[in-house]
Amino acid sequence: MKKYKKVYIEITNRCNLKCSFCPQGVRTPKIMTVDEFRHILDEIKPYSDYIYLHVKGEPLSHPEIAGFLDLAEEKNIKVNITTNGTLIGRVGEKIADKKAFRQINFSLHSFDGDMDKIDEDDYLKKILDFTKKSLSLENTYISLRLWNFHGGNKNEIQMEGNRKIIGKIERYFDLEYKIEDKLIPGRGLKIKDRLYLNTDMEFKWPELCDKDENEDGFCYGLRTQIGILVDGTVIPCCLDGEGVVNLGNIFEKPFKEIIEGKRATAIYDGFSNKKAVEELCKKCTFKGKF
């Protein structure tokens, strides 16, 4: 039986920001129901013990986020959350001590997005306050992300926004060193136990309208990861934010049949030979990283 390290579940495709690095898309806004989430957990449980509440949308905006963590605990499934962090002051108390809660990734590069109505100092303080409390519970990992690098050089650490954020992290945790002296662009830095600062290149979602394409390459989609959109559409990886590569709907067909279907098998076999068979995969630049 296939085992996935990551099953991405999009519990909502709604977001409270409009960041330049994240295409807005054309799908109908939706939030997943409790029954739908429970059904998905039942279907994927034999195939993974880890879910990631992420594809598009802001997971912390879901009104049942705390209940979803309780459901995951019932199924003995660990939960990882990726968030822009703007709602952590409102939601943090509800989720911090949940036993299924394994890791939270704060996309701090969201300060580049549509945050006109958000005070950046208050935004970061609430994230760091939650981080401090979470670390005291010793059950959750925290990743502070700056995925807005372009050339991957030291100069980009000194971008105004990055410098401000890094400085606040240093002061908040009373660090005895300068993060800039230790940070290598494109890699992570352990700040303290369970707390990491991760940097990477600016995120680029593949789109069918992209002019460049290349069928050569490799992808871990359908090998170590798979995704499920809010409407139940199963996708091969977390980069198909519009459900272009629709493998089937988990609310209409058993998960086992979907991942063993002709389209999924063709994708898997293609990448076994270092070839992309789907048009979206040919447009994706991430396959060149492996």
**DSSP-assigned states of every residue in 156-185:** GGGSHHHHHHHHHHHHHTT-SS-HHHH--T
Residue 145 has pLDDT above 90, yes or no: yes
Residue 67: per-residue pLDDT: 98
Residue 31 has pLDDT above 70, yes or no: yes
pLDDT digits (tens, 9 = 90+) for 56-101: 999 999 999 999 999 999 999 999 999 999 999 999 999 999 999 9
Residue 20 has pLDDT above 90, yes or no: no
pLDDT band at residue 21 using 50, 70 and 90 as cut-offs: confident
Residue 254: per-residue pLDDT: 98
pLDDT band at residue 151 using 50, 70 and 90 as cut-offs: low
Q: Which whole number is the average pLDDT over 141-146?
A: 95
**Among the listed ranges 18-27, 53-62, 256-265, which one has the minimum average pLDDT value?**
18-27
pLDDT band at residue 157 using 50, 70 and 90 as cut-offs: low
Q: Are 285 and 276 in contact (CB under 8 A)?
A: no
pLDDT digits (tens, 9 = 90+) for 184-216: 877 889 999 999 999 887 777 899 999 989 999
**What is d(CA 146, CA 109) in angstroms, rounded to the nearest whole number?**
5
Residue 39 has pLDDT above 70, yes or no: yes
Provide the mean pLDDT of the chain.
91
**Among the listed ranges 5-19, 27-41, 91-105, 148-162, which one has the minimum average pLDDT value?**
148-162
Residue 117: per-residue pLDDT: 64
Residue 154: per-residue pLDDT: 52
Q: Check residues 1 and 52 and name the one with the higher pLDDT.
A: 52
Percentage of residues of the chain with pLDDT beyond 70: 94
Residue 240 has pLDDT above 80, yes or no: yes
Between the alpha carbon of residue 108 and those of residues 19, 84, 180, 205, the distances in Å are: 12, 7, 16, 18
Q: Are 117 and 17 in contact (CB under 8 A)?
A: no
- How many residues appear in the chain? 290
Residue 113: per-residue pLDDT: 60
Tokens encoding 170: 């240093």
Residue 234 has pLDDT above 80, yes or no: yes
pTM here?
Answer: 0.94
Tokens encoding 271: 């990448």
Residue 276 has pLDDT above 90, yes or no: yes
Secondary structure (3-state) at 67: helix
